Structure 1
Amino acid sequence: MNCIKICFAGVLFLIISCKNNVQLQSGVIPQPYSVQYEKGYFHINEETVIVVDDTVKGKKIVEELTAFLQSNFNLRLSVGSEANVNTIQLILQESGNTNGGYQLEVSSRGIVISSGAYRGLFYGIQTLKQLLSPKIVLKEPILQLVKINDSPEFSWRGMMLDVSRHFFPKDSVKKVIDIMAMHKMNKFHWHLVDGIGWRIQIDAYPELTNKGAWRKVKPNKKPWEDFESCYRDDEASVYGGYYTKEDIREIVAYASDRYIDVIPEIEMPGHSEAALQCYPELTCVGAEGAGVYCAGNDKTFAFLQNILTEVIELFPYQYVHIGGDEVGKGTWLQCTRCIQRMEEENLSNGEALQSYFVKRMEAYIHSKQRKLIGWDEILEGGLPPRATVMSWRGVTGGIEAANDGHDVVMSPGSPCYFDHSQGKSEFEPPSWGGYNNLLKVYDFNPVPEAISKDKKHHILGGQANLWTEQIKDMKHLQYMMLPRVCALSEALWCSSDKKDKEQFIKKMDIHFDRLKELGYNYAESALTPDYNVGFDKDTGDFRLTLTNELNLYEIRYTLDGSQPNADSQLYDAPILYRSPVNLYALCFRQGKPVGYPLKRMFSTGFGDKCQIKYLNPYNETYSGGGDKALFDNKFAIARGDDPSWQGISGKDFDIIIELGNLTYMSYISMNFFQHIGATSVMLPTQVLVSVSSDGKNYTTVLDESISTDKSRDPIIKRIETEFKKQPVAFIKIVAKNRGELPDWHIRKGDAWLFLDEVSIK
């Protein structure tokens, strides 16, 4: 009797827990088209039978589900062929949706997933797995009764992985595919070839992997600086790798089992240094070392056609990507063979020659029953009539192509480049380019209004691109993908009228636990505190506002620079202050810190009367926000494109800050920037700071020489000085520019200085 009571109590507890988790179970990403919950629950148990047809595809889908149930709930379910009560049925409908749509129904009798295609059944299982996770919350496989009707809005839901700049072994590639499959993404664009690495075995040209897959590692130089291919057993330090044909087949099959099509990219006619250092006879006359195939040499086309023949045999999907971006056409215009080709074909310029090149390759690809796709530069000079465009330089190229009747995949750098930073913290790992945060990705709509209504069907969908200049390992790779791929999956699966940003944010609270359970290294950038400072003229108060991108969880802080904990002051209203504060803020989830810390010292000594005089004017392109940018309480991050940096080229920063009244102070600091690997911005050679009470007689409080730092990575150097407290009305700052860039720098010309945020107390 006691045993019965205990068992009943246990079941009752599970049901109550399940009722409390209704919101949890609706947290599916990407959001289904329609979800209707009903009263009641179904409990998957050891007696539950999975029912599916006896086909290879059916069995593979069942393996996906049984492995999940066993690892999450220690359930080993049997597989049968007859439907009954307490079953999970996978039904292939003869007249059902074939584009990936599916229906999922949980009733008191069991679970039914139906679709017109195995792809849809697979997606239904991804939804079921999310309904049953995370296990740290849903400890038993109990589901509320529900009816889900779902189908994707776009047929192209993709991600590109660059393995040329940094090579990733096949197991890492499979993990990328797993993440995509979890989120119902279906196109894996594999950037196998670029200027600094050839990654695919080609039997006809063995030097491409014997030599083109390896490069010399040179001290203090990025891989693309003075690139030199070499052999694996070279005496120098060597980096590289490639995929054998067997590797390729294995990964293509792995992706196919997850209903992901693999699109290979074989870059041409530019970005081809690795190939041309192996086969230099294919370069233009007099352009040895250039990375552009000679368009006037028929051997070039035979070479590329032979390569594509082997590539097409490995990749069964219809598209082949040829790149086509950033072609250095000046090389062609100096080549006697290319000039002759232009004369013979009546081509007036480099763009027309590029169009000739692309059209010739498209004709060959079409002869192999495949479709050519390329970056939007293939529009230059005229596009082959059957070509598909991938628009990356914004959406303009995609709009033009779609309105002209071409299929288009939208992949604009903003917000679809996942190599860009996703957070503003100085603790973020290295990134490239701009700033694409999580909700910016969520807001992406691949169909611009400028496309004619009768041409909108040419937008196949969208794609994220993950270039790996800065990404060397799987941990960093996952960080850049997640959680942004979650946002992109919903942006491409749902129609714009079905998207709900607030709901998505709530679902991410659940999804973070799912990602953690799977062992993924996801970014918490969206949970890192951010700030805004205002000034109330009427009260004289500074007003410090804290938030994070998702507006989730508690923010706790201190104002004395000490590290906050779960018992520190809770942020629940703007912080008012009249004297300098050393803010240290952290976001807490379930009592534990998440995201990066926010650490800033905010000044109060700069009032409305404060003015700044520049003996050398700053560059208007890098104004930082104007004359008061250096004391606006907006701290620039370690990126040259941060708008808060104020810049000057070739000259010193020589400024005088007039405070407008006497202020007692004992501390002054400022930030300088350097990024040798991507900019001409260097640290100053010397910084001098002087103070005065009358603007005539100055006392030097800092004279610091700055040693040269040859690091290629971005640097923010904080220069600060503490001195005897005294009345100050004027601050003079001189930051010495080194003038011309040093010989060892990757660029030529004048050095820049970038300065931001002078702080005082």
Structure 2
Amino acid sequence: MTIKKLFQLAAGCAILSFASCSDGGSSSTAPKASVSLIPLPARLTETPDSFLLDKQTVLVAASEADKQTAALFNEYFKSVSGFELKVQDSAAHNMIVFASMSAADKGLPETYRLKVDKDQVTIQGDDAAGTFYGMQTLIQLLPLQKASSYWIAGVDIFDQPRFSYRGLHLDVGRHFFPVDFIKKYIDLMAMHKMNTFHWHLTEDQGWRIEIKKYPRLQEVASRRKETMEGHYNDQKFDGKPYGGFYTQEQIKDVVAYATAHHVTVIPEIELPGHSLAALTAYPHLGCTGGPYQVGTKWGVYDDVYCAGNDSVFTFLQDVLDEVMILFPSKYIHIGGDESPKVRWEKCPKCQARMKTEGLKDEHALQSWFIQRIEKYLNSKDRQIIGWDEILEGGLAPNATVMSWRGIEGGIAAAKQHHDVIMTPGGYVYLDHYQSQGKNEPIAIGGFTPVSKVYSYEPVPEGLSAEEARYIKGAQGNVWTEYMKNSEHVEYMVYPRAIALAEVLWTPKEKKNYDGFLERLKTDLPRLEKKGVNYAKHVFEVRGEIQNDNKGGVQVKLDSKLDGGKITYTTDSSAPTAQSPAYTTPIPVTQTGVVRAAVFQGDQQYGNGFQQAFVFHKAVGKIVTLAKPPHQNYNPGSPFALVNGIEGVKEFNDNQWTGYSGGTMEALIDLGDSTEINVLGLNTLGNKDQWIYPPKQVTFYLSKDGKHFTEAGQQKEIDGKGIIRVRERLKEMVKARYVKVVAQAVNKIPEGAPGEGSPAWLFVDEIIVQ
């Protein structure tokens, strides 16, 4: 069943002002859409008058920019109606006018006013972009069905963006995408008033932009011998050569298309790290001289541009010269992230550079490297953007920072009065999982549903009003290690990008998630009209695991699907429309699987909910932690340790309680004296990602919560994936309180990934039987 059919109340005949869906020309049969706009405008007033758009309606546009906007409207309108409208410099009546605001009405750049009355539609922009965005709003006021005339609801809208930078990123280094898809990506951005496309063009795994002065970038750096299959942890490869690059003519075409849609394209040329593909083509640019091989694994490579080699800067300046001809953007993104220093530490040229320049360490050398590139770009009237690692060793004077490792980098840069684009991984990385359904395509990890994207506030707390001015906006990032084709990209990006678009455009005080979901129901059919393979999780049944406040656990279900009926099972079988209807939270009283789905009639919508439970005597009981977990791995409550759910090995389900080094100590109150003969906990081993099982786990029991007796201890714990630590007591013991103390590996051993750093300790379900 398609989303269009499911939401026909929002897009079809049921919301028409009149009784018929005929495509005849009569005003009494013309369809009329509800006023449902994303992003929500700054000021919106609905009025009683409506405008009848028919085959005699004229598009009025005087300037060349307005004529271009009128042409884009006509292109869309013809795809819906089957006919186009005349474009003229003037008309007497029955017209849609594209024009500039009067001086008295002008506001911020990209501001527009849209007024619909019975005689005409008027779109006035502060600038050409404003008029364009007014046109996009007008499109959202049009019904989707084919007809020869349409009623447009009466509105008076004054609208302007909250943030000037509203971006989406796309990594084409890991997987390459054709020009037609890049244009579609830009078109979808513009549809929701996003204005910046960050094109990540170079990577360890592939160089994707033609540079005429260095042909081996196309011949060698654009191709790798094979690609990883499955997840990184599987370490499997497909054995198939892979490659591709954009010619300069193709890039000019994309930039022109973006410009027409008022989207700025910012190219990213990675330096000094993520440069293995370029080093493979030109080995003399590396510290060791090679030989190198274009990356076949995901992740970070030690080989980077040599900071002590002047030919590196000649190469990069030549590359940037050609890049700047192709991209007129104010900004050039230079990466600056994840650049290991191990080659520089042993490179005589790099060490000599540090001595000559009076640099204290390799971090300062990276700062010097980036500042040298910045000075060159500044001399060409361009500015740099870099990931927040460019803060390390000293920030380049005019740099803009993209804060991706949380919000701290953005705060630090804003306090130094540098412009900031917020891109924190936990909220706007669209390569994370968006559903906890069991049938999701493989992703890098994490869990970022639409609701979490929508909840994001780009201006961090703690900044003064002056400092907050440096937060220019935010960006959704799309890293494509696990996205092999454009359909997969669309699935990961939409509708999450729509949520971000409203975060960045709409005034903070007007944001409302439930209201957004209602408006999304009319927006999704527009995506379907454009052939977008968007994810449909947002209206599927959702489950919340709750403490029932009676010493137990229950499952609360809900769905935002209008007219949907939720049914469930507790025996692991798939629910049907005839399964028991959900009315109240479902108690968890035994080991098993709770499943649920939402139906319209006999048709199921979405993946459904499925959760396995391990029932034991501590489920739902009160837990106290001696110290809170790390902020990045905090399920939000110690309740996650006794909710009956075993976290998954991918640690993307918000179940694991994580510590960076140190000790986890948990105290469980069972509520009454309880017979116990097994104690345990689940932990995780994934040393490639710095996650180690605890070096020691000790269990204690108490009758009064004050005096504890050791009940058992486990050492030399090892393994990969989920490790179930269990201590079987010699005899049944009665106790009310259970204390569990798990000591982390404080220092990762030499030679292992992350050597010398504190190991991560992940603990999930604490078992009492």
The TM-score with structure 2 as length reference comes to: 0.77
What code does the residue aligned with 1:110 have?
Answer: Q
Segments of 5+ residues of structure 2 without an aligned counterpart are 1-15, 293-301, 624-628, 661-669, 694-718, 725-731, 735-751
1:606 aligns with 2:609: no
Residues 216 and 489 of structure 1, relative CA distance in 2, 3 Å threshold? same
Aligned equivalent of 2:439, options 412, 427, 430: 427
1:217 aligns with 2:212: no
Q: Distance in 2 between matches of 1:183 and 1:69?
A: 17
- Which residue does 2:101 correspond to in 1? 93
* 1:122-169 deviation digits (Å, cap 9, x = unpaired): 111111111114449x99622221111111111100011111111111
- Which residue does 1:315 correspond to in 2? 327
Q: Is the 8 A contact 1:601 1:759 kept in 2?
A: no
- The RMSD of aligned alpha carbons is 4.8
What code does the residue aligned with 2:606 have?
Answer: G
- Which residue does 1:346 correspond to in 2? 358
- Which residue does 1:158 correspond to in 2? 167
Q: Is the 8 A contact 1:52 1:89 kept in 2?
A: yes
Q: Is the 8 A contact 1:97 1:115 kept in 2?
A: no
* 1:35-92 deviation digits (Å, cap 9, x = unpaired): 101113222111211111262x333322221122222223332222223222111113
What code does the residue aligned with 1:160 have?
Answer: H
* 1:564-598 deviation digits (Å, cap 9, x = unpaired): 33444332322246556642201235763222122
Give the C-alpha shift of residue 361 in structure 1: 0.6
Give the C-alpha shift of residue 185 in structure 1: 0.4
- Which residue does 1:520 correspond to in 2? 532
- Which residue does 1:83 correspond to in 2? 91
* 1:296-323 deviation digits (Å, cap 9, x = unpaired): 1111111100000000000011110110
Q: Distance in 2 between matches of 1:337 and 1:58?
A: 56
* 1:704-761 deviation digits (Å, cap 9, x = unpaired): xxxx99xxxxx9999xxxxxxxxx999xxxxxxxxxxxxxx99999x99999769999
Residues 327 and 608 of structure 1, relative CA distance in 2, 3 Å threshold? closer
Residues 276 and 260 of structure 1, relative CA distance in 2, 3 Å threshold? same
Task: Map 1:61-72; keep pairs closer than 5 Å.
Answer: 61-72=69-80
Aligned equivalent of 2:497, options 471, 485, 489: 485
Residues 38 and 343 of structure 1, relative CA distance in 2, 3 Å threshold? same
Aligned equivalent of 2:276, options 259, 262, 273: 273
SS of 1:142's equivalent?
strand
1:556 aligns with 2:590: no
Q: Distance in 2 between matches of 1:747 and 1:154?
A: 38
Give the C-alpha shift of residue 533 in structure 1: 4.4
- Which residue does 1:25 correspond to in 2? 34
Q: Is the 8 A contact 1:529 1:596 kept in 2?
A: no
**Higher alpha-carbon deviation: 474-483 or 587-596:** 587-596
Q: Is the 8 A contact 2:196 2:263 kept in 1?
A: yes
Aligned equivalent of 2:517, options 505, 512, 535: 505
Residues 662 and 14 of structure 1, relative CA distance in 2, 3 Å threshold? same
SS of 2:469's equivalent?
helix
1:530 aligns with 2:580: no
Q: Distance in 1 between matches of 2:559 and 2:291?
A: 52
Q: Distance in 2 between matches of 1:384 and 1:753?
A: 36
- Which residue does 2:558 correspond to in 1? 547
**Higher alpha-carbon deviation: 298-307 or 393-402:** 393-402
Q: Distance in 1 between matches of 2:224 and 2:549?
A: 58
Q: Distance in 2 between matches of 1:582 and 1:572?
A: 18
Residues 227 and 571 of structure 1, relative CA distance in 2, 3 Å threshold? closer
What code does the residue aligned with 1:215 have?
Answer: R
Q: Distance in 2 between matches of 1:122 and 1:75?
A: 21
SS of 1:570's equivalent?
coil
- Which residue does 2:54 correspond to in 1? 45
Aligned equivalent of 1:114, options 121, 124, 129: 124
Give the C-alpha shift of residue 365 in structure 1: 0.4
SS of 2:617's equivalent?
coil
Q: Distance in 2 between matches of 1:484 and 1:758?
A: 34
Give the C-alpha shift of residue 202 in structure 1: 0.6
1:142 aligns with 2:151: yes
Segments of 5+ residues of structure 1 without an aligned counterpart are 1-9, 229-234, 613-619, 650-657, 664-669, 683-707, 710-714, 719-727, 731-744
**Higher alpha-carbon deviation: 355-364 or 284-293:** 284-293
Q: Is the 8 A contact 2:593 2:613 kept in 1?
A: yes
Task: Map 1:176-191; keep pairs closer than 5 Å.
Answer: 176-191=185-200
Residues 597 and 759 of structure 1, relative CA distance in 2, 3 Å threshold? farther
1:104 aligns with 2:97: no
What code does the residue aligned with 1:13 have?
Answer: A
- Which residue does 2:139 correspond to in 1? 129
What code does the residue aligned with 1:470 have?
Answer: Y
Q: Distance in 1 between matches of 2:322 and 2:619?
A: 69
- Which residue does 1:253 correspond to in 2? 256
Aligned equivalent of 1:358, options 365, 370, 386: 370
Q: Is the 8 A contact 1:83 1:89 kept in 2?
A: no
SS of 2:367's equivalent?
helix
**Higher alpha-carbon deviation: 575-584 or 164-173:** 575-584
SS of 1:445's equivalent?
coil
What code does the residue aligned with 1:634 have?
Answer: I
Residues 590 and 488 of structure 1, relative CA distance in 2, 3 Å threshold? farther
Query: Among the aligned pairs, what percent are the same residue?
Result: 38
* 1:81-114 deviation digits (Å, cap 9, x = unpaired): 2232221111133634461111111100021111
Count of aligned residue pairs for this structure pair: 687
Residues 671 and 302 of structure 1, relative CA distance in 2, 3 Å threshold? same
Residues 227 and 561 of structure 1, relative CA distance in 2, 3 Å threshold? closer
- Which residue does 1:5 correspond to in 2? none
- Which residue does 1:13 correspond to in 2? 19
Residues 337 and 746 of structure 1, relative CA distance in 2, 3 Å threshold? closer
Q: Distance in 1 between matches of 2:391 and 2:760?
A: 36
Aligned equivalent of 1:371, options 372, 375, 383: 383
Q: Is the 8 A contact 2:443 2:482 kept in 1?
A: yes
Task: Map 1:276-675; keep pairs closer than 5 Å.
Answer: 276-285=279-288, 289=292, 290-526=302-538, 527-535=540-548, 537=550, 543-548=554-559, 553-576=564-587, 578=589, 582-588=593-599, 592-602=603-613, 606=617, 632-637=643-648, 639-640=650-651, 642-645=653-656
Residues 551 and 446 of structure 1, relative CA distance in 2, 3 Å threshold? farther
Give the C-alpha shift of residue 477 in structure 1: 0.4
